[in-house]
Amino acid sequence: MQAFQLELPPPLTGGRFFGVGKYSYLVGAHPLPMIQKMVESMSQLQKEELQVQDKEHRKGCRGLLYQQVENLQEKVFIHAEEVNKLRSEEDGTDLEKHRDLLATENERLKQELEACKLQLQELTNQRRSCEECEYQRTENNALLQESLSQLQLEVAEKNAQILKQELEVQQKMDCLNEVEQRLNDSLRERAKAKERFNFRLWESQQTIASLKAQPPQIKYIVKRVEVESSKLKEALNEAQSQNRSLEEQVGMQSQVLKEMEQQLQDSRNISTWLRSQIQKYESEVERVHREMVEVVQTMKDEKNRAIEDAFMQAQTEMKAVHENLAGVRTNLLTLQPALRTLTNDYNSLKRQVRDFPLMLQRALQTTRAEIGEVVEEVRNTNHELLCKYRRELQLRKKYHNELVRLKGNIRVFCRVRPVMEEDVDGLEVMNMVTFDPEDDAVLHLYHKGKLVSFELDKVFPPEATQQDVFQEVQDLITSCIDGYNVCIFAYGQTGSGKTYTMEGMQGNPGINQRALQLLFAEVAEKALDWEYTISVNMVEIYNEALRDLLGKEPHGKLDIKLCPDGSGHLYVPGLTEFTVKSVEDINRVFEIGHMNRVTECTNLNEHSSRSHALLIVTVSGVDSSTGIRTTGKLNLVDLAGSERVGKSGAEGSRLREAQYINKSLSALGDVIYALRSRQNHVPFRNSKLTYLLQDSLSGESKTLMMVQVSPLEKNTGETLYSLKFAQRVRSVELGPMAKKTEVVSFPPADQMELDSRSSPNSSPGASSGRPGSLRKKLQISGRGKSPPL
């Protein structure tokens, strides 16, 4: 029989033994009292078992059971030891300690922060007292505020971290408590099982003891021993099964222990991490603290420096102020007499100021009276001047009219067009017209080998410009503003330059546009006293039909009618009239007229040479001071070509056109003749042209006939005819002799030619009142004789 020795661990400190009989229990602060108790009872059991073994040497079957129990005890002990060790090493209180430490550290940081705030407050106060460092302080303050807010943020973060860690620690603690609870429960279970086992063991021992106490009956005993030994076997089996269940429980316990170990390991990791975090936090706090201290130190230094500077500056300024004060004191001494003088002056000025309104009122009254007198004088002078001006105006008008009358109310000019490139046509062109260099009213025409001379009111050579021509006619145009009716006719064969003279060309306008421009200028000059309105009509007479060139329906024929007011004046119902105020307006009107003329005909050149184009300008004015009203009419007429088509044997429409043209031109000649010779009857109604211009030709009206001629040899016939026409118009002399003259019709073209043939060298101009050089020449040569009309 083998003896079993069980080595038990020394009892843990802090515990007390309480024993009842052979079972003793350890209670107190030990973490595993049940295990301990179990170990104790097991050792007790072992001792008793040993005694039994001694007594019952034959009962070797119990050895296995003891062996197993021993192993079990060993394992339980090891586990208990490990648990104790773990508990002592990594107790949950460590985490709590860390947490407490962190809380303390946090508290300390908060206090430091408060101290920093206080210091900052102090510095702010100090800075307030130092005004010169205001700007710098504001900047530093802002920086500090910024770092402070950063620190506060960090502290808040750390607090949050601490709270989180506290929560985690709490969770771990709860976990540990739960594990401990479970361990305690399992130990209690085990103790109960052990107790039951012991009780059975005790019962078995009691049975053995009672068996031993019975008297020996060999045969019977042997049998009983066998019986008892089977009982023991049963007990043994039961113990083994209990042992197995205990082993299972131990396995479970070891599993639980493993879990606990794992949890402890996790806790250890977390604790390490927390420690590192705390270290980081501490180092950060330390760094911030160091920075704060540095900043505070820098600010203190700056403050001291600023104070020193301010002090030095104040000292310097104080010194300067003292010096100034001394200067001021000296000045004060010298200024006192000046002050006295100034005070006296001031007092006298005050007196003057007091008296000033009265003086001013008197001066104003005097000045007003003087101004009134002067104004009255000026008014009188103005009135006189105005009267003089009006007288002068009347005189000017009178003299102008006298001048025009002296020149003749009907004047005849001649313009010779230059030889054009298209006239040359490869052949040598002979210029048949020559001029008198000493007299600008004479021209000579070389015709059929003879030189025929003509004297008119003015002759324009080919080189005369549009401006030169206009210069001579502008008097007539301005008289229109004074209320006179003016007619300017362009007469001549086709291509002789009538349109050029009247309308002109782009960029070089003729009489029409220049006349309107002049009217605008004159009207503007008189705008102070007179208010003028300038309106225009444009008409065309073709084959004795009157057409409105500005109307919306230029095809319609117009009629000339007597005014229903009984004034005897004529008017054209439905004739379009435009009021013009500027050159742009004129251009627009000309454009409309031109367009209407173009739309009417297929060949404008042909058409224009066979129709009369009239631009009628009406100038109405009212004198704002006197209320006098004037109305003048300017008729600018581009006549149809005067060539004698009828003679060349034309037929049909061409002949009809020619007849109409001849008729109207003859009628014009007749009217002018009748007017110049002051006949009682003037045949205005013989043509549409003269009838339309009746108002403008009669009475005080002024007429200019611009006879256009070509210098070309091929045109000499027509040139001669035109010049004769001009000569005849001009030769009609006003005065007693003219009055006596009979009323005769203007000779037709053929007759005029015959006349010229009969006396080619005769110059009708010789009989005119104009003292022309040619006339003198003719008189000297004895050939100055008026032709019969």
Ligand X SMILES: Nc1ncnc2c1ncn2[C@@H]1O[C@H](COP(=O)(O)OP(=O)(O)OP(=O)(O)O)[C@@H](O)[C@H]1O
Interface residues with ligand X (CB under 6 A) are 417-418, 420, 492, 494-500, 605, 608-609, 641, 708
String of b and e for 358-373 (b: at least 16 CB within 10 Å)?
Answer: eeeeeeeeeeeeeeee
- C-beta of 708: minimal distance to ligand X in Å? 6
Q: Which amino acid is at 54?
A: D
> Which residues are annotated as part of the binding site?
492-499
- C-beta of 630: minimal distance to ligand X in Å? 33
Q: DSSP strand E in 178-309: where?
A: none
* Cβ proximity to ligand X, 507 vs 564, nearer residue: 507
- C-beta of 618: minimal distance to ligand X in Å? 25
**CA-wise closest residue to 472 among 413, 512, 521:** 413
Q: Which amino acid is at 109?
A: L
- C-beta of 783: minimal distance to ligand X in Å? 31
SS3 556: coil
**CA-wise closest residue to 688 among 670, 663, 706, 669:** 663
Distance CA 76, CA 8 (A): 11
* Cβ proximity to ligand X, 499 vs 635, nearer residue: 499
- C-beta of 751: minimal distance to ligand X in Å? 23
- C-beta of 731: minimal distance to ligand X in Å? 24
* Cβ proximity to ligand X, 492 vs 764, nearer residue: 492
> Cα 453 from chain centroid?
77
> Which residues are annotated as part of the binding site for ATP?
492-499
Q: DSSP strand E in 437-586: where?
A: 439-447, 450-455, 458-460, 485-492, 504-505, 508-509, 530-542, 545-548, 557-558, 561-562, 570-571, 578-579
SS3 625: coil
Tokens of 288: 């911030």
Closest CB to ligand X: residue number: 497
- C-beta of 376: minimal distance to ligand X in Å? 59
* Cβ proximity to ligand X, 162 vs 539, nearer residue: 539
At how many degrees (to 10) do helices 134-213 and 92-129 cross? 170
Residue with tokens 């400190």: 13
Strand partners, 451: 446
- C-beta of 564: minimal distance to ligand X in Å? 37
DSSP state of 748: P
Measuring CA to CA, how many Å separate 551 from each of 469, 516, 555, 575, 619? 31, 20, 9, 7, 20
- C-beta of 420: minimal distance to ligand X in Å? 6
Residue with tokens 């099964």: 241
SS3 617: strand
* Cβ proximity to ligand X, 131 vs 468, nearer residue: 468
> Cα 770 from chain centroid?
74
Measured at the CA of 56, the angle between CA 55 and CA 62, to 5 degrees, comes to 130
Largest CA distance in the chain: 224
